Amino acid sequence: MTEKLYESAGRSRILWLGAFAVAAVLALPAAGADLPKATRDMLKELKMDAGILSGLDDELKMPADWIAKAKKEGTVRYIGNFSNDEWPAFIAPFNARFPSIKISHQRTSRVGRVDKPVIAFKEGRVIADVIAAVGAGMKLYRDAGALADLSDLPNFQQIVPQMRAKDGRWIGEKVKYWCMAYNTGLLKKKDLPARWEDFLTIKALHNQNIGMSNRPHNWILPLWAAKGEDWTVKFIDGMFTTVRPQLRKEGARAIVTLAIAGEFHVALPATDYRVFGYAEKGAPIAWHCPEPVPVTISELIIIKGAKNYYSSKIFLNWFLSKEGQLAQYYTTKASPVHKDLQDKGMVQYWGEIKGKQTAVRTPESLISIFPRVQRVWNKAWAGAGGSVAGSSTVKAMTKLTAVQRGGRLLKFTVKGGEHQVKMSRSRSEVVIGGKPASRGKLKVGMSCEISYLGNGNEARKVSCK
């Protein structure tokens, strides 16, 4: 089921007292009225008014016993995704407010971030306190009973309901919106789809005018969760048989740059903040979102039995506060999960999102739905000539029937049917008469051996006489 996105954003705040109604609380130093220098500097650089942090004093109040117990703990071990450049700036406001609480951040592989901590937990060891972006690994943590309850965090209720677990076992740290980037010089606004099914009928989007990466977990999974299996299976089939996009092996960032370069009209899927960064520098690129809006959530958890449990809770509560979400946006440009920050300039292309239905990917949908999504998607992707795990390179001895766009696209006949391949300047090898050559030297009628991963995919090598 889809839901209207944050229509109440910016309206009156709901002050949640819950379990703390009778608890003693301790107002911390340097609260909202006296912001840390690091926070003031962020606001200044982002050209935002301090009023965006209204209510921060209440958000940073903690039960007195949390503070007392945290003072007896050690350094919080946080495994996350901040880069070495981002982390010092992000954590600076927290350090100013809580100088006695130390946070050690480690960025590692998925195995180190997700698998090793839960294996250690099953062995009776706790090697991390806070972990980010567990994703489908959440099932392992749930089955092991390794998730602490976060619902008693004062700021738990400040998070958009779709972006926190109903049972309190995980909380969102940031979100990404996965829609489409388009080259403003190649695609007209009248040809932008209002709904995802419009892709199937707008001719300007067909026949290789879309560059699509093999990332169904970012947009197809949320759509499946929102629209159901029947709709999504038909949509996938239509995308590959009617729309016929270019099947790209590049990731989400790379296909946006290729759309800017004019390799195709549309990059799919694409995130708002990534596109905005290029558009801000003058690139001919913009972002558009059909409805419903695919949303993915990166989660935060605390390991049950964490050695630095109360320090971890104080850290997460700050992370979820307006100041913590501001610091995250400042350092990574990631969109916030705080319900009162949705329309405050921290979501790029907010006009493309506001008021639209959403399709949200949660850890639960990754666990329960994605295996089926992936089977359907992989069958359609491979059937259209795309490469999936276990596929091999095929070779064809043939003649070039078309050389288009300066050698970027080649067409030829295989067993009576027309095939085509994309030619990358850096990855596709070209040999003519036994000597290396550029793709621009390829001509119609040349006899060539073409190594590729199937119709519509990228060529590995084209060797012509």
Judge residue 240's burial from the number of C-beta atoms within 10 Å of its C-beta, 0-12 exposed, 13-18 middle, 19 or more buried: buried
φ/ψ (deg, to 5) at 256: -65, -45
Average pLDDT, the chain: 90
Name the nearest CA neighbour of 179 among 356, 371, 385, 386: 356
CA 455 to chain centre: 28
Contacts 24+ apart (CB under 8 A), 161-165: 162/3, 162/295, 162/297, 162/358, 162/360, 162/362, 163/297, 163/337, 163/360, 164/337, 165/363
Hey, what's the torsion of the CAs at 275, 277, 278, 279, to 10 degrees? Answer: 80
> 117 with 303: CB under 8 angstroms?
yes
d(CA 198, CA 180) in angstroms, rounded, equals: 13
Least confident of 327-331, 336-340, 372-376, 414-418: 414-418
In tens, the pLDDT along 46-62 reads 999 999 999 999 999 99
Question: In this model, does residue 12 exceed pLDDT 70?
Answer: no
**In this predicted model, what pLDDT tens digit does every residue of 376-413 receive, in sequence order?**
999 999 888 887 654 556 889 999 999 999 999 999 99
- Band the pLDDT of 281: cuts 50, 70, 90: very high
pLDDT (tens digit per residue) in 167-223: 999 999 999 999 999 999 999 999 999 999 999 999 999 999 999 999 999 999 999
Which of 87-91, 340-344, 364-368 has the highest mean predicted lDDT (pLDDT)? 87-91
Residue 33: the pLDDT is 47
Give residue 8's pLDDT: 39
Cis geometry, peptide bond prior to residue 269 (ω within 30 degrees of 0): yes
At residue 179, what are phi and psi to the nearest 5 degrees? -125, -130
Q: How far apart are CA 122 and CA 290, in angstroms?
A: 43
> Is the pLDDT reported for residue 29 higher than 80?
no
How far is residue 25's CA from residue 61's CA, in Å, rounded to a whole number? Answer: 6
**CA-to-CA separations, 87 to 105, 237, 302, 323, 327, in angstroms, rounded:** 8, 43, 19, 15, 10
8 Å CB contact between 61 and 154: yes
Question: 3-class SS at 22?
Answer: coil
Report pLDDT for 23: 35
pLDDT at residue 69 above 70?
yes
- Residue 355 in tokens: 């008021």
The span from the CA of 150 to the CA of 28, in Å, is 21
- pLDDT exceeding 90 applies to what percent of the chain? 79
pLDDT of residue 24: 34
Mean pLDDT, residues 278-301 taken together: 96
DSSP state of 23: S
308 close to 127: Cβ distance less than 8 angstroms: no
Domains recognised in the chain with CATH numbers: 3-174+297-347 (3.40.190.10), 176-295 (3.40.190.10), 394-464 (2.40.50.140)
What is the DSSP track for 27-42? Answer: PPSS-GGG--HHHHHH
Global pTM value = 0.74
User: What stretches of 86-228 show up as alpha helix (H) in DSSP?
Assistant: 86-97, 110, 116-122, 138-144, 216-227
What confidence score (pLDDT) does residue 30 get? 42
Assess whether the previous peptide bond of 336 is cis (omega < 30° from 0). Answer: no
Whether 75 has a pLDDT exceeding 90, the answer reads: yes
